[in-house]
């Protein structure tokens, strides 16, 4: 990742998303997983975020 620049600052932001599961069961089905990925890509394009 490269540093982002604004008029008064330089920044680099990292996020770590965690889905804790109870009893280590499978949490997300394939459909839900693909929906989350597509939504994350859309948000990334809209706000110039790299996932």
pTM greater than 0.85: no
Give the rounded distance of the alpha carbon of 9 from its chain centre.
23
DSSP character string of 1-51: -PPEE-SS-EE----------GGG-----HHHHHHHHHHHHHHHHHHT---
pLDDT at 25: 66
Distance, CA of 46 to CA of 42 (rounded, Å): 6
Cα distance between residue 27 and residue 30, in whole Å: 10
Domain segments of the chain: what residues?
17-51
| Cα-Cα-Cα-Cα dihedral sign, residues 22, 51, 47, 3 | positive
Encode pLDDT of 1-51 as tens digits: 677 778 888 888 888 888 777 776 677 788 888 998 899 899 889 988 776
């Amino acid at each position: 990742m490269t540093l982002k620049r604004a008029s008064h600052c330089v920044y680099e932001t990292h996020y770590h998303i965690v889905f804790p599961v109870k009893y280590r069961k499978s949490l997300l089905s394939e459909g839900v997983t693909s929906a989350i990925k597509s939504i994350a890509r859309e948000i990334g394009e809209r706000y110039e975020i790299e996932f």
